[in-house]
Structure 1
Amino acid sequence: MAKKKTTPTSTSDLKSTSQKNGATLSDLQSNFDLWYRILVLLYDLSNIAMDRAAEARTLCTTDELYISGPYFTPEESVRIKSTVVSAPTLDEVPEFEALALDANEPAKAKEKPTCEKMTIEEAIKSCLQNFFEKRRASGDARPCGPHDMAPIYREVFGVSKDDLRDEKFLSRLRRLGLGQVGEKTVEGASSSSSRKQKKKGGKKG
């Protein structure tokens, strides 16, 4: 008589649930090439005002959250957006201390959420909404730009400023840009166009 199959263990259940709910940050970090390009995106958002290459890459994006080409393929963009993270709070981001609400504001503004889980897309949009609310309360009506979004992205992805200042990372960025994905669309496009101009100039000579 055949034995009945045992019910899945708790570990199996967790894996199954994890797969249904999307990947985790650890999954993204285990893909070194993908994680590198995520770091490039965060670097670009943080340095767009000082780095022309960073500005050029962000201008080539087609997604409202910048999670698209030239940084990622369509499949990678979907994977990143659906990755599950703990719900962040702007109170954890030092850059937003300047947007502190009035002292009479209810204490709930400083309360940290429970261990709620949400996708990266949901987390970023949630933080941006809270960011606008805090800015309106502080009387700051400036439009939001990539530089304003950078602290939110660093918090959501669990990346520090020091991570983006790491010399190994910066050396690779200077040497390779985005790599295969980015070189063909941004750095590679500019270099190939300059080669064409040189060839045209050579023919004229």
Structure 2
Amino acid sequence: MDANDLADQTRALSLSEDPEKTFHISDLKSDKFPALWYRIHVLVYDLRNFATDPTARERLESVVDVTYLGQPYFNAEEVAALTRTAVGHDGETLKERIQHTLEERLNRRLKKRVESGDFRVCAAHDLAPIFEKVFDINPKKLAKDSKFRSLVSINGLRLKSEEELWNGLGNGPPKGKKKGKKNRP
């Protein structure tokens, strides 16, 4: 265990001392969790591209948690924050959203797949949509973002310097409006 792992575990313990603390999406984007927002996007990208990208597949295959919230994507402190992030107006956390969604999908599978006996969770089909919706990630934009793809290709999960900081997907024009065109009365 190196000094960074020990520091992560210490911060995670301090988070666990306050089990009522709830985080918000803005917290995940803040300096408190450097590069976390980037790694959330890498996870979503990997979930959607594991079949065609050997490096994505390798990263995903090293995760041991059924929710894919863990190493190598996230350290213990980040997992604690992610699972306690409020994702709905009713105060539902990401952990609860994942649990409810997977239970619902499993119940549907129980009805549809009794004969096949295949009740497995499919990360790409079951988990990716949860993360995309909660974190407002458009998978098509993500796949086309050349800066993001370049950072992932060069650095994988760990950005090497502040210059490589990634601020998220660029915001295009609002829905219904085309870039460069004005609405006419």
Which of 50, 53, 65 in structure 1 is aligned with 2:52?
Answer: 50
How far the C-alpha of 1:20 sits from its partner, in A, is 4.4
Structure 1 length as normaliser, TM-score? 0.58
CA distance in 2, matches of 1:162, 1:121: 25
Match of 2:152 in 1: 173
CA distance in 1, matches of 2:102, 2:133: 12
Q: Name the one with the larger helix percent.
A: 1
Which of 150, 159, 163 in structure 1 is aligned with 2:137?
Answer: 159
Q: Aligned pair in 2 of structure 1 residues 180, 70: CA closer, same or farther (>3 Å)?
A: farther
Match of 1:75 in 2: 77
Letter of the structure 1 residue corresponding to residue 24 of structure 2: T
1:7-156 alignment, distance < 5 Å? 20-31=20-31, 33-86=35-88, 115-138=89-112, 142=118, 143-148=120-125, 149-156=127-134
CA distance in 1, matches of 2:36, 2:96: 20
Match of 1:101 in 2: none
Percentage identity across paired residues of the two chains: 33
CA distance in 2, matches of 1:27, 1:163: 23
Q: Aligned pair in 2 of structure 1 residues 139, 64: CA closer, same or farther (>3 Å)?
A: closer
Structure 2 length as normaliser, TM-score? 0.64
Q: Between Structure 1 and Structure 2, how many residues are aligned? A: 135
Tell which structure's C-alpha radius of gyration is larger: 1
